[in-house]
Amino acid sequence: MGVIPGTLITKIKLAPMGDPIEFDVNGYELTMRLDDAGKIEVEKDEKWAIGLALWQCLIAWLCAWVTFLIASLVL
C-alpha cells in the first residue's frame, strides 16, 4: 500500500462516527479502520507542517487576489 518507512502520510478525514479514517499516501487515498491505523508508527514532521501552513496561506492569499482582480475587470 505504500506505507513504508519515510513515506509522507497526511490525514484527510475521519468518518462521523470516528471509524474509518482516510489518509493521503503518495497521492493515493487510503482508508482504513482505526485499529489497523494504530499499528502504523508515525512521526510528526514539524518543519514540513509549518511549510505546508505557509503554502496554504500563500495560496489562499493568491486566490483572494485573483478573485479581486477578476471582479475588478468584470465591474
pLDDT in the model for residue 37: 78
Query: What's the rounded Cα separation, in Å, for the pair 22 and 38?
Result: 13
- The answer to whether the CB of 9 falls within 8 A of the CB of 3 is yes
Report yes or no on whether pTM surpasses 0.85: no
- Dihedral in degrees, nearest 10, Cα atoms 44, 47, 48, 52: 120
* pLDDT tens digit at each of 75 positions of the chain: 556 777 777 878 888 887 888 888 877 888 888 888 778 777 776 666 677 778 788 888 999 999 998 888 886
pLDDT number for residue 2: 56
